[in-house]
Chains A and B, each alone.
Chain A
Amino acid sequence: MNEADIRAVALETLLAIAPEVEADELRGDKPLRNQVDLDSMDWLNFLLGLHEKLKVEIPEADYAKLVTLDDVMGYLAKKLEG
C-alpha cells in the first residue's frame, strides 16, 4: 500500500464522519481538529475506521502523536511497514 492509497483510505474514513469536509482544502501540516469539527467520539470513530480498514492497532497512548493529517499518514505508513 503506497502513500496515495493510505491517503485515500484516511480521507474516505474522515468523509464518512464529516461529510462536509472538502478534501482539497485540508492542509496536511495543520492540526486536523482545527480544520474539521471532530469531537472525541468522531475522533474515536475516525481511528476505529482506520483500524478496521487497515488492520492497524492504534493504542490510546499514541493519540498525542496524531495531530495533523501528515502525522496520521506517517504513523500509518510506519505501522503498515512493520
Chain B
Amino acid sequence: MIEFKLPSLGADMDDGTLLEWKVGVGDTVTKGQVIAVVDTAKAAVDVECWTPGTVHELVAEVGQKMPVGTVMAILSESGEKVGACGTAAVSPAAPTARRMISPAARKHAEKRGIDLDAVVGSGPNGAVTLDDVENAAAQPAPVTAPKPAATPDKSAEMRKAIAAAMARSKREIPHYYVAEEISLAKALAWLQAENLRRPMAERLLPAAVLLKAVAVALAHYPELNGFFRDGSFAPAAKINLGVAISLRQGGLIAPALLDAGARNVTQIMQGLMNLVKRTRAGSLKSSEMSEATITVTNLGDQGSQLVFGVIYPPQVALVGFGRVAERPWGDAEGGLKALPVVTATLAADHRVSDGHRGALFLRELAELLQHPEELEGLEK
C-alpha cells in the first residue's frame, strides 16, 4: 500500500483545500496523472500522482483543508492484491469544471456579497464577467436562507503566502548580487528576422531567447541550479526555470518551465505562452509549483531598468532581466552607438556560491546572447 500525501506546492504553501477528486476507488492511475485539484493560497493546483498504482481509498474529503504531508489517498501498487476489505466505496465527486471568473467580477462579487456559484457566466467558455455579476446584483435576492459569506479573501491569502516565503528567504539566505549590462542588438536582430518569416502564431518574444540563454549558461554553473535543504546544497539534474508571472489581480506565481535545458527557443516560447495562460486561468500542475530549480524574473518592456531579486527558497539563485532600452554602447574601435541593452542581475546564495562565480555566469550569459542563432540550435 502506498500513502499518497499532499505534496509540497512550493515554499509559500503550507496547506491546501481539496476541491475535487479526479479519480475514484478502483481506478488505475499512472505516474504524472492528475488525481485531485487542491486550492492553495495562490492558485488551484492539479495534483499529480508520483507513482503508478490503483486507488484503494480516498481519505481526504472534498472541502477539507490539510497541511502538506497529509495522507490524501491510499494506493495499492500494481499487482498488489487488494483484499476485499469492506472499504466504504467512496464515489468520486462529480467532476466540476473549474469556472473561469474574471478578477474584476470576483472583486465586484466580493464587494456586493454575491455568491459566484449562483451566477451564470456569459463569457467565453462560460466565464463569469463583470456584467454577469452586475446582472446578478440587480436581481432581487432569493428569499431562501442566505449563504454564509465565507469566501476567504484570495488576495490577502496570496499576500500572506508571498510574505512567508520572502521573509524566510531574507532570514535564511545570505544573498549576494551581481549585475551585467548586455547588448541585445544581435539577439533582437535575429528575432526580427525570425519573426518576419514565421506565421504570427509562432512569433518569438525576447523573453524566450533570454530564458534559453539562462538554461544554457546554467549547465556550467550547477551551484546556481538546485535546492538548499537541511543544511546542504543538492544540485538539480534538470534545469526547471521558475518563471515569475504577475497576476492581473495582484501578486505573482513562479511556476516551472520544466526541463528548459532540453528545449530550443521555439519550444521555450510555446511552453512560456502555455504556462502564462494556465497560470492566469488557475490551472497549474503540482510539479510546476514545486520543481523549479531557479527563478527568472523578466520585467519586460514596461518594467524598470534592473531588479534585485529575492531568492525563492529552497532555490539558491534568481536571475533578473530589466527593461530593454536603447543605451550608449562603446565598441572595440572606440566608437559610441545607441544599442538595445538589458541589465541582467543575479541574486545568489552565498552559502553555495561566491560573487566571482556569479559574475562569470553573467559573462557567459552575455556571450551566449551574442550568438542567438546558435541558441536556437542548442538543445542541451
Contact of B105 among A19, A39, A40 (CB under 8 A): A19
CB distance from B41 to the nearest CB of A (A): 21
Query: Which residue on A lies nearest to B301, using beta carbons?
Result: A40
| A80 close to B (CB within 8 Å) | no
In the complex, what distance in Å separates the CA atom of A44 from the CA atom of B129? Answer: 23
In the complex, what distance in Å separates the CA atom of A15 from the CA atom of B246? Answer: 17
Contact of B130 among A19, A40, A57 (CB under 8 A): A19
In the complex, what distance in Å separates the CA atom of A47 from the CA atom of B199? Answer: 12
Query: Which residue on A lies nearest to B302, using beta carbons?
Result: A39
Give the chain B neighbours of A61 by CB distance below 8 A: 196
B300 touches A39 (CB 8 A): yes
Query: Which residue on B lies nearest to A47, using beta carbons?
Result: B200
Q: Which of A1-52 contact B (CB under 8 A)?
A: 15-16, 18-22, 33, 37-41, 44-45, 47-48, 51
A40 touches B102 (CB 8 A): no
Contact of A37 among B129, B192, B201, B302 (CB under 8 A): B302
Give the chain A neighbours of B207 by CB distance below 8 A: 40-41
CB distance from A65 to the nearest CB of B (A): 16
Give the chain A neighbours of B72 by CB distance below 8 A: none
Contact of B205 among A19, A21, A40 (CB under 8 A): A40
| B124 close to A (CB within 8 Å) | yes
Query: Which residue on A lies nearest to B303, using beta carbons?
Result: A39
| A81 close to B (CB within 8 Å) | no
CB distance from A44 to the nearest CB of B (A): 6
Query: What interface size band does chain A fall in?
Result: 20 to 34
Give the chain A neighbours of B302 by CB distance below 8 A: 33, 37-39
B124 touches A16 (CB 8 A): yes
In the complex, what distance in Å separates the CA atom of A58 from the CA atom of B206? Answer: 18
By secondary structure, the B interface counts as helix
| B271 close to A (CB within 8 Å) | no
Give the chain A neighbours of B200 by CB distance below 8 A: 47-48, 51, 57-58
Query: Which residue on A lies nearest to B276, using beta carbons?
Result: A41
Query: Which residue on A lies nearest to B102, using beta carbons?
Result: A19
| B234 close to A (CB within 8 Å) | no
Query: Which residue on B lies nearest to A33, using beta carbons?
Result: B302
Contact of B103 among A20, A44, A47, A60 (CB under 8 A): A20
Give the chain B neighbours of A44 by CB distance below 8 A: 203, 205
Give the chain A neighbours of B205 by CB distance below 8 A: 40-41, 44
Give the chain A neighbours of B195 by CB distance below 8 A: 60
In the complex, what distance in Å separates the CA atom of A37 from the CA atom of B201? Answer: 22
B102 touches A20 (CB 8 A): yes
CB distance from A19 to the nearest CB of B (A): 3
B192 touches A60 (CB 8 A): yes
B102 touches A41 (CB 8 A): no
| A82 close to B (CB within 8 Å) | no
Give the chain B neighbours of A19 by CB distance below 8 A: 102-105, 127, 129-130, 248
A selection of 5 A-B contacts at a CB cut-off of 8 Å is A16-B124, A19-B102, A20-B104, A48-B200, A59-B196
Besides A20-B103, A44-B203, A45-B273, 13 other A-B contacts (C-beta < 8 A): A19-B102, A19-B129, A19-B130, A37-B248, A39-B246, A40-B206, A40-B207, A40-B300, A41-B273, A47-B200, A51-B200, A60-B203, A61-B196
Give chain B's interface residues, CB within 8 Å of chain A. 102-105, 124, 127, 129-130, 192, 195-196, 200-201, 203, 205-207, 246, 248-249, 272-273, 276, 300-302
